[in-house]
Structure 1
Amino acid sequence: MHPVAAGGGVEDEDDERRRQSKLEEALEIKSLRRIISAYLNYPEASEEDVRRYERSFRMLPPAHKALLSHYPLKFQRLRRCISVNSYFIFNILQAFEPPLDLSQDIDVCDGPHLENVPNNHNVSGVNNVCSSRSTCASKRLHTSNSDQACYEEGSNTVHSPPIVTTNKEVDNSGHRESITDGHTSGVECIRETHNCCGNDSNGDVSSPSRTWLDPSLQLHVPLVDVDKVRCIVRNIVRDWAAEGQKERDQCYKPILEELDALFADRSKKSPPACLVPGAGLGRLALEISCLGFISQGNEFSYYMMICSNFILNHCQTAGEWTIYPWIHSNCNSLSDSDQLRPVTVPDIHPASAGITEGFSMCGGDFVEVYNDPNQVGVWDAVVTCFFIDTAHNIIEYIEIISRILKDGGVWINLGPLLYHFADVYGQDEMSVELSLEDVRRVALHYGFHFEKESTVETTYTTNPRSMMQNRYYAAFWTMRKRSATMEHQPPLTERNS
């Protein structure tokens, strides 16, 4: 009786594992569909904004309307700008290669427990740097679906140099002109783009690899999700437009100059390795690579990853695309022309920027990816820019940074302490919010000593022509790891289990 029971128990465990795996994959698919749907819902949500503006205009008394006789034309211009942005967004989605089959049936997991799938952009298959669906790039400047891990087993070196893959130039000039000069709504633009781009070099959107773009799979998502897409458009300006150069000079230039000075004798044959957690759309990580470092960006947000994949891998020339990033706010505008002004991106061609072999982007949660024994003592430098306050537990971030740095390695940080989870009310979200003084004290505990410390005044994704400019007085420091005092301790997840 006992062997049978034991065998039955093993089978039950296997069934439970398969069921749990299927449920997790379904959750991943639903979460990723929601993010893609946020991108696809951009034109409709933007069109609704314009309709709201029009309703308010119609409510004005005739005498007041007469003072704003140019407004109907402004609304037309807004719709054209939305159409251009929508075309850009759809091209971003066409270039994306999901790590999962998003067209598969997920009814198996429908139920109350899925009604509020957390929109944390975390797909468990891309959390671990050594997982079978790791998102680390090894064959492109950036990819969201590589089958290889970032590091060879037992090796401290980044994978083979990225090979930039580009698509054949596609002549979309006629279509762009129709978008710019016509009166097509944003929603119609998406449909037209779907038809006209079906046979381009990115692949037919009706083919099996693009069935996840089928409108029948599109979800109705909260407006807050669409706002994240608008935020991505502003981030594109910060990282990849000439208009963002001032902000990049404020934030990235001090970091790049510090790295250049600290590793002045770096070898081209064996370049130092630098990790950039919270890499966003990848510009800082790319600039570090161009300085002669093996550079790896790490990013958690799939909103960011979908967009950075397009810019890093699929943009073929500088200034290839036009976007209208400022159209979604009527506040603090100096003029309609400022609000509706175009911005061309990218300001440089990433593939021609002069990257060092080994540049990569790795998707996943910083703690889960880098709190791994294979990451101990791997990195010569860790650069954090507007990142450390994204932590639920900033102490955990500091401990992991110390663990993954080599003895004598440096941690360069620039950013505020605007803790992202500090104001999450009514949810069971952990948030440990340290003062700068406590951050220093914790860093000293984990083997760091300060070499430089100052304050940098900067903005973040700010419209440079807006009447409102939010400024940070960001902490900027260089710390060096004294010793490997934490190296032989097990990862935090093991100690906390």
Structure 2
Amino acid sequence: MSNSDEELRRRKYEEALEVKSLRRIIAAYFNYPEAAEDDVKRYERSFRRLPVAHKAMLAHLPLKYQKLRRCIDKNTFFIYEMLKAFEPPVDMSQEDENCEHVDDGSCGHFHSGDRDPCACESASVSGRPHSTKSGEVCEEKNGNCCKPESANFEGSLECKTNTHKDTSDNITDIKDPKSLDTVTDISSVPPEPECESHDGLDSMPHFHVPLVDVDKVRCVIRNIVRDWATEGQKERDECYGPILEELKRNFPDRNKESPPTCLVPGAGLGRLALEISCLGFISQGNEFSYYMMICSSFILNQCEVVGEWSIHPWIHSNCNSLSDADQLRPVSVPDIHPASAGITEGFSMCGGDFVEVYGGPTQVGSWDSVVTCFFLDTAHNIVEYIEIISNILKDGGVWINLGPLLYHFADMYGQEDEMSVELSLEDVKKVAFNYGFQLEVEKTIETTYTTNPRAMMQNHYFSAFWTMRKKPLATSIQESMDE
């Protein structure tokens, strides 16, 4: 077999893997209402088993369950409208014969242990399928980068897939923003209209997927609050605020003719990357999870007014609720109109594995700054992450980091071939120093992650925060010689 035939076979195989993965992810979104209804039925079964006297004291619960169903309808309406707007980057009509014997799955994953299970930042792996704690395999191999054609900066990625639809060209005048939804009695909210089928999804098999996949959908709904709701502002102030201040301090003169560049790996639903763009940077968010990419593209490109959508992010847990009203309360999104936020031309989102997209020679010395927020502990090999960050920064470039070290693959019991390098914070800094970084700012910041601000339990992290600067090569060589 010739090299060209082998390359063609490899590309077909990888595209088939991506189709298979996307089908499962879309199926997880489609399965959301059925899985949520199963939960409500379980609540009702438990209620029916109560003694008569106990039922009398809790006579309001059947009404609550009906309200829950209306909340699920609202979330489902948002999800289906989001899927209708989704344009798959590959031909979804192809068959799966090219990816036999490969486990399919999604590109998101969850932390175990004491972190909120909603903490599903993207994870990455170099050169092999990506196993997660839930046992799925991430098959997305290539970067699907969308960058406006007018962007012009060294080392920029070719736009293989227009998932982001040229954000700079999408900016239009908006209608008058409607007021935020303040409805608290969901029983008075009429059900949303049925969603029409989207031509591109008509042929999608609505097969059942593991519940862990549907949990990722619920995770995305909670992440929407963190990035795109007024209720997430406190958490954004905790996590994004210090990063934005450091960028402003390190780049006080942001020339509109030649803006500084900033890469945001693990960008999630895109709010931090957008805020950085609004500061005057050419900002690119990188995200591995298609669960996240589908939603971020919808919010960034399709939302027309502030508060356009109403979702109910807290309905899937009956634990630690102060009241039924708190649990059922609606949240309006987005809190800003992204296209009118004042982004810098060149803002983009790039889908793909961080190591594979940015680990190549074309990215060396391409970026003035790299921002990592709740990202470093997604690595199989954190040393590789740090090496790539060093390589892609220009001499004198800045790396700003915030987050804990709750390594995603630390508890992969029973999978002996699963790689996970878990370093202490002290060792992480030593590795960074070895790759030519010099520490300029360091502190601990108490943060939360996708926390319900009205819940009785909230996980807090004492996150490591630092600003490091990449020393010029000549300085690093001279210091090595002196040692």
Aligned with 1:229 (options 189, 196, 217): 217
Q: Is the 8 A contact 1:299 1:361 kept in 2?
A: yes
Q: Does 1:67 align with 2:57?
A: yes
Q: Per the alignment, do residues 139 and 280 of structure 1 end up closer, same or farther by CA in structure 2, a change over 3 Å counting?
A: farther
Task: Give unpaired runs (5+ residues) of structure 1.
Answer: 1-8, 142-148, 154-158, 170-176, 199-204, 489-497
- State the alpha-carbon separation in 1 of the partners of residues 273 and 11 from structure 2: 34
| 1:41-56 alignment, distance < 5 Å | 41-56=31-46
Say whether the 8 Å CA contact 1:402–1:486 is kept in structure 2. no
- Do the aligned residues in 2 keep the contact of 1:453 with 1:477 (CA within 8 Å)? yes
Q: In structure 2, how many angstroms separate the alpha carbons of the residues matched to 1:161 and 1:79? A: 36
Q: Secondary structure of the residue that 1:217 maps to in structure 2?
A: coil
Q: CA deviation at 1:456?
A: 0.2
| Mapped contact 2:150–2:345 kept (Cα < 8 A) | no
Task: State the distance in 2 between where 1:67 and 1:294 align.
Answer: 59
Matched, 1:316 2:304: yes
Conservation of the 8 A alpha-carbon contact between 2:222 and 2:313: yes
Match of residue 452 from structure 2 = 463
| CA distance in 1 between partners of 2:149 and 2:339 (Å) | 12
Aligned 1:126-145 pairs, distance under 5 A:
127-129=141-143, 134-138=144-148
Query: How many angstroms does 1:423 deviate by?
Result: 1.2
Match of 1:302 in 2: 290
Aligned in 2, Cα 1:408/1:312: closer, same or farther, shift over 3 Å? Answer: same
Matched to 1:424, the amino acid is M
Q: Please state if 1:162 is matched with 2:168.
A: yes
Q: Quick one: which amino acid aligns to residue 26 of structure 1?
A: A
Shift of 1:284: 0.4
Q: What residue is the counterpart of 1:145 in the other structure?
A: none
Partner of residue 336, structure 2:
348
Aligned CA distance change for structure 1 residues 407 and 77 (closer, same or farther; 3 Å): same
Aligned to 1:96: 86
One-letter amino acid of the structure 1 residue matched with residue 146 of structure 2: C
Q: Is the 8 A contact 2:448 2:460 kept in 1?
A: yes
Amino acid at match of 1:120: C
SS of match in other structure, 2:343: coil
Partners of 2:138 and 2:409 in 1: CA distance: 21
Q: Distance in 1 between matches of 2:362 and 2:475?
A: 14
Q: TM-score normalized by structure 1? A: 0.81
Q: How far apart, in 2, do the equivalents of 1:168 and 1:465 lie?
A: 32
**In structure 2, how many angstroms separate the alpha carbons of the residues matched to 1:417 and 1:260?**
26
Residue ranges of structure 2 left out of the alignment (5+ in a row): 109-129, 131-136, 160-164, 176-182, 478-483
Task: Quote the sequence identity (%).
Answer: 67
**CA distance in structure 1 between the aligned counterparts of 2:358 and 2:474, rounded to whole angstroms:** 18
Match of 1:439 among 404, 421, 428: 428
1:151 aligns with 2:157: yes
| Bigger CA radius of gyration | 1
Q: Deviations over 1:388-423 (max 9, x none)?
A: 110000000001101111111110000000101111
Question: 1:474 maps to which residue?
Answer: 463
1:119 paired with 2:106, answer: yes
SS of 1:381's equivalent?
Answer: strand
Task: Specify the alignment match of 1:262 in structure 2.
Answer: 250
Q: Where is the helix percentage greater, Structure 1 or Structure 2?
A: 1
After TM superposition, give the deviation of residue 105 of structure 1 in Å.
Answer: 2.8
Superposed CA deviations along residues 71-123 of structure 1, whole A, max 9, x for unmatched, are 110000000000000000001111111011112333x2475x14x32433689
* Matching residue's letter, 1:29: V
Alignment: residue pair count: 432
Bigger shift: 16-25 or 383-392?
16-25
Structure 1 counterpart of 2:56, one-letter code: A
Give me the whole-angstrom Cα distance separating, in 1, the residues matched to 2:98 and 2:173.
Answer: 37
Give, in angstroms, the shift of residue 486 of structure 1.
Answer: 12
TM (normalized to structure 2)? 0.83
**How large is the RMSD of aligned CA atoms in angstroms?**
2.9
Residues 366-445 of structure 1 correspond to what in structure 2 (within 5 A)? 366-427=354-415, 428-445=417-434
SS at match of 1:308: helix
Alignment of 1:263-282 (within 5 A): 263-282=251-270
Per-residue deviation, residues 275-330 of structure 1 (Å, max 9, x unmatched): 11100000000000101111111000000000000000000011100000000000
The whole-number CA distance in structure 2 between the counterparts of 1:386 and 1:34 is 26
State the shift of 1:22 in Å: 3.3
| Contact residue 301 and residue 339 of structure 2 kept, 8 A | yes
SS of structure 2 residue aligned to 1:163: helix
Q: Relative to structure 1, is the Cα distance of residues 14 and 270 closer, same or farther in structure 2, using a 3 angstrom cutoff?
A: closer
The residue type equivalent to 2:456 in the other structure is: M
The alignment status of 1:39 with 2:39, answered yes or no, reads no
Pair 1:229–1:450, CA change in 2 (3 A): same
1:15-53 Cα shifts (integer Å, max 9, x gaps): 555444433322221111000111111000000000000
Q: Residues of 1 paired with 2:80 and 2:42: CA distance?
A: 24
1:127-156 Cα offsets, whole Å, 9 max, x none, are 445xxxx33232699xxxxxxx94369xxx
Q: Hey, what's the Cα distance between the residues in 2 that align with 1:91 and 1:409?
A: 41
Larger RCO, structure (CA 8 Å, separation 6 or more): 2
1:262 positional shift? 1.0
**Would you say the 8 A contact 2:227–2:269 is kept in 1?**
yes
SS of the aligned residue for 2:168 comes to coil
Structure 1 residues 15 and 402: CA distance shift in structure 2, 3 A = closer
Q: For each residue in 1:343-362, what CA deviation from the matched residue of structure 2 results, as whole angstroms up to 9, or x when unmatched?
A: 00000000000001111111
1:268, CA displacement in angstroms? 1.6
Q: By how many angstroms is 1:167 displaced? A: 12
Cα deviation code 1:450-489 (max 9, x no counterpart):
001000001000000000010000000000001237999x
More displaced, 79-88 or 216-225? 216-225
The answer to whether residue 272 in structure 2 is matched with residue 284 in structure 1 is yes
Amino acid at match of 2:313: P
| 1-structure distance, mates of 2:202, 2:380 | 34
